[in-house]
Every structure is written in C-alpha cells, then in structure tokens.
C-alpha cells in the first residue's frame, strides 16, 4: 500500500463558527489597526516610489554583486539595490549590473560628486568597471507611480467583485471582496509597522495575493453552491461548516506547498526579492484565514439563495386554465 502524507484527515468535523464573533472581530480590529499604523507611520517606499538614480555599470570581467553591495553600503548612500542584467545577446566578456540608489534630496538624483565617489569605490573591487548610462527619477514621477500602483490594486479588486457577482450571487461577491480587502490591508499594515521596503515588487506581490486568495475562496464557494443544491433543508450555518470541512484538506495542502517554495526563496533568494517573497508568504497565511473566517461569515450574515435548481418553464396557456 502506497504511503500518502496527510496533513489533514480526510473527514473532519470542525465547528468553524464556534468563535465566529471573536475571529471576525479580531479581523476587523486588525484591519482598522493596519489603516491607523499606515497613516501614522507611513510606508518605507523604495526607489521606485521615492525617486533616485539608476546606474548601468558594465565590465569586461565577471563581478560579484555581493562585493558591489558591500562597497556601496559603506558610503552611506541610503537605499541601494543592485541586480545583475542577463541577456542572451551579451558576449562572454560583457557583464552588466544595474545599480539603483535612492535619495532624500529635493532633486531626487545623485549629485555628480556622489557619482564620482561611487565609481571610484567600485573600481577598487573591479578596475574594469565603467558607467554607460545614468538616469534619475524625480519625486513627481514617483508620486505618479504610487497612484498608478494603488489604482491597479483597486481595479483588480473591482474586477474580482464583478466576476464573483456574475459567477455566483452578490452575497458571495461581497464576502470575497471583504476577504481581499482584509488581506491587502493586513499586508500593507505589516509593511508599515516593520518599515519593510515597499516598492513595485511589493505591488506585484499584492496583486498575486489577490489572485491566490480569490482562487481559494472560489473553491469553497463552488462547493457551497453544490451543497446548497444537495441539502435544501439543512441550516445554512451547518452547511457552511460541512463545506469548509470538505475543502479543508485542499486549502491546507495548497497553502503548505506554496509556503515551502516561498520559504526556500526567502532563505536563498537574496535581498532583491526578499520583500516580494515575504509579502507573498504573509499573504498566503492571511488568505487562508480570510477564506475560512471572513468570507463565509459575510455570506452567512447576508443570507444566500437556497434553491439553485432551475424552475420549470410555465406553459403559456396554463395561466388561463383556472380562469372563470
């Protein structure tokens, strides 16, 4: 007999509504707290949103990104991000690095004096390095990026609301969107509380969290609709408990396998993608919680259509048969 790993038993009888007011109340408090923390402490915006300078450095010899980061870290330049650029058209003697340096100056760019200091510091570890392009992003452009990023998150949420509404009923749509807002607010609040760098990769993580969370919610809602057809007289609260128990194994297994990959990335992936992976790991956790304890509670309180079977089409002449 083949061995199968079971994190959750095949049949469970957990009462997820036993502490519904406590769990939902905790979620509401955390959402409000996230908004307050974000408004008071603000976000630690990265170079994409704060402005800065992007330097394209090329060398004939292979370089170590770690050495570049260590050298520039001692210059007290602020936020520095270094990535190696890979291109199949590059020859064996062409190595390119992209260096992004944030700044707090009003111009939003690195001064020529600072640029000379940076070049001299890099030449100490790589004498062949040279700067082929220097571009600056000012605060005005950064503010436009912030607005565009949050509009993207809002547009995705509205699109999901419309999809769930058309796919199920408006009660399901409201439950799904409240769960999505819960996930996004808690993620942003955590980034604000610990002042984790918030940049375009974090926005990408937020959009990915929306997709992951709504996928998990739709699976539960789809099973709930099947059970609504199957058990027409069962109380709605019992039917929802049955639905979550039936899909619990799938929910936990999906979350665990995703978390394993994300933990590997956060440990081995390096500093460049650490913020993105951390947001994803946190989003997977709160996404599972919101699917079980937020979305279904909204559906329970707003009520839902119990008989999903199609009504037979009434014969046009039948309405006149009993007429006097």
Reading the block at residue 314, the tokens are: 């009434």
> For residue range 96-114, what is the model confidence (pLDDT) as tens digits?
888 888 765 555 567 778 7
Q: What is the pLDDT of residue 307?
A: 58
Q: How far is CA 290 from the centre of its chain?
A: 14
Q: Are 65 and 81 in contact (CB under 8 A)?
A: no
Q: What is the pLDDT of residue 321?
A: 45
- Which fold is adopted by the domain 52-137? Alpha-Beta Plaits (3.30.70)
Q: What is the pLDDT of residue 301?
A: 85
Q: Are 287 and 208 in contact (CB under 8 A)?
A: no
> Which class for 182: exposed (0-12), middle (13-18), buried (19 or more C-beta within 10 A)?
buried
3-state secondary structure of 144: helix
Q: Which long-range contacts (CB under 8 A, 24 or more apart) does 257-264 make?
A: 258/212, 258/284, 259/284, 259/285
Name residues of the chain where pLDDT drops below 50: 1, 308, 312-321, 323-324
Residue with tokens 């992976």: 277
Question: In the chain, what is the straight-line distance between the N-terminal and C-terminal CA atoms, in Å?
Answer: 73
Domain residues of the chain, as ranges? 20-43+141-302, 52-137
Q: Are 24 and 96 in contact (CB under 8 A)?
A: no
- CB atoms inside a 10 Å sphere around CB 322: 6
Reading the block at residue 108, the tokens are: 């939003």
Candidates 3.90.25.10, 1.20.1640.10, 2.60.40.420, 3.20.20.70; CATH matching 20-43+141-302: 1.20.1640.10
Q: Are 215 and 190 in contact (CB under 8 A)?
A: no
Q: How far is CA 91 from the centre of its chain?
A: 37
CA distances 259 to 50, 277, 283, 284, Å, are: 31, 10, 10, 7
Q: What is the pLDDT of residue 107?
A: 52
CA distances 24 to 36, 286, 295, 301, Å, are: 19, 13, 10, 12
Q: What is the pLDDT of residue 1?
A: 45
């Amino acid at each position: 007999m083949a061995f199968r790993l079971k994190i959750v038993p095949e049949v469970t009888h957990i009462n997820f509504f036993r502490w519904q007011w406590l769990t939902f109340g905790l979620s509401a408090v955390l959402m409000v707290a996230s908004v307050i923390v974000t408004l008071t402490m603000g976000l630690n915006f990265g170079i994409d949103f704060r402005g800065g300078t992007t330097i394209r450095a090329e060398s004939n010899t292979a370089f170590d990104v770690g050495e570049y980061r260590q050298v520039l870290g001692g210059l007290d330049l602020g936020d520095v991000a270094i990535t190696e650029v890979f291109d199949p058209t590059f020859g064996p003697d062409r190595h390119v690095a992209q260096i992004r340096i944030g700044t707090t100056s009003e111009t939003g760019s690195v001064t020529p004096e600072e640029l000379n200091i940076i070049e001299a510091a890099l030449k100490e570890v790589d004498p062949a390095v040279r700067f082929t392009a220097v571009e600056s992003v000012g605060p005005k452009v950064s503010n436009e990026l912030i607005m565009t990023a949050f509009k993207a998150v809002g547009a995705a949420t509205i699109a999901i609301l419309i999809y769930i509404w058309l796919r199920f009923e408006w009660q399901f749509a409201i439950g799904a969107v409240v769960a999505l807002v819960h996930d996004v607010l808690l993620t942003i609040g955590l980034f604000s509380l610990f002042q984790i760098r918030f940049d375009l990769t974090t926005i990408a993580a937020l959009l990915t969290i929306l997709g992951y969370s709504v996928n998990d919610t739709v699976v539960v809602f789809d099973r709930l609709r099947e059970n609504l057809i199957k058990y027409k007289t069962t109380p709605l609260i019992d039917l929802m408990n049955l639905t979550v128990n039936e899909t619990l194994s799938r929910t936990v297994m999906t979350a665990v396998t995703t978390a394993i990959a994300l933990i590997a990335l956060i440990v081995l992936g390096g500093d460049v993608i650490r913020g993105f992976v951390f947001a994803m790991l946190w989003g997977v956790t709160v996404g599972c919680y919101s699917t079980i304890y937020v979305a279904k509670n909204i559906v329970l309180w707003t009520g839902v259509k119990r008989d999903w079977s199609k009504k037979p089409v009434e014969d046009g002449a039948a309405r006149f048969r009993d007429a006097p």
